Amino acid sequence: MSPRATPARLAAASAVLLAATAAAVALAAGLGPLSFGDAEVSEETLSFVVREIRLPRALLAALVGGALAISGAAFQALLRNPLASPYILGVSGGGSLGAVLAIVAGVPALLPGVPVLPAFAFAGCLAAIALIHAAARRRGHLLAQDLLLAGVVANSFFLAALSVLQFLATPHQAAQILHWTLGAVRTERVPVPATAVLAAAGLLLLLRDAASLNLLSVGDETAALLGVDVAAVRRRSFVAASLLTGTAVAVSGPIGFVGLFVPHGVRRVLGPDHRVLLPASFLAGAAFLVLADTAARTAFGPTELPVGVLTAVVGAPAFVILLARRERGAPEGGRP
């Protein structure tokens, strides 16, 4: 029997996860090659580093991690597929293709100081959303199986186009492409406030339909019989989750496993009710990526590991462990 959603349970889960996120941000702000008590570093210098570099980066990592986790939870409900993730529908592929097109065309060199790559990546995500929506729409309806098939085909096309562009790129451009596709949190790409506005908009749109997503995850016919406008809910949720994914990709490039692993972990603990699962996944994803980015920044001394590599190294075995526990008879939760 999975836990039932109650206001008290939602408040308790939110308080714990908010505290975990705040602790992760505080840890990220305090860790680095410069630290308080170092006689060679002035307090003014360290305060500047914490305030202007570490804290904004931690907040940006929290927004990206939360966006990926909640969009993963939404896609798993929309597609009724436990392996669904923010990248399965090709939205991230479209964003990566947009950024790589800008690199190969030399646009960043023509407009120095302008956040060209995030703009092209976000435009690529929007184009991918429009393409997948148009391909999956059938007589005004957006069916789960059509959405999945259209997304998989679009993702394959984007990956093929990326391979062609990488082949045509110069060695310097190839290095830029590799750096982008590995995923990294960079505050110079997109300001934190702009990212926060987009993430908040997507979060609110998904929370609005949380109860309907509970019914959609059971089946379209059941949801329709219980009064849910299936087409409208699926369309709104698809657009909101895709915009969250596009925002994350524009800011940090593709960072894998956060949107797949985190919702499964939260579902095991708190159950499948999306009224609890969605906000909890956002906060858990925020804390997870802040910790992962901090480890990627500090664990290897002066060398910084791309956070997308670390999330894959940690997320893949963790997800396998979750599946193994499920096979041993510890289900992730039943119907809400």
Tell whether the model's pLDDT for residue 335 goes beyond 50: no
Considering the chain, what is the average pLDDT of its residues? 83
Return the pLDDT at 229: 86
How many percent of the chain have pLDDT more than 90?
19
Q: What is 7-327's CATH number?
A: 1.10.3470.10
pLDDT at 40: 66
pLDDT tens sequence across 146-168: 888 888 888 899 989 999 998 98
Query: Which residue would you say has higher pLDDT here, 121 or 316?
Result: 121
Domain ranges of the chain: 7-327
Quote the pLDDT of residue 204: 92
Rounded Cα–Cα distance for residues 88 and 93 (Å)? 9
Residue 98 has pLDDT above 80, yes or no: yes
Res 4 pLDDT > 70: no
- Tell me the per-residue pLDDT of 29-68, one tens digit each, with 9 for 90 and over: 888 776 655 656 677 777 888 888 889 999 999 999 999 9
Of 77-86, 102-111, 126-135, 320-329, give the range with the top mean pLDDT: 126-135
Each residue of 104-145: pLDDT tens digit?
A: 888 876 666 667 888 888 888 889 888 888 888 776 667 778
Question: 24 falls in which pLDDT band (50, 70, 90)?
Answer: very high
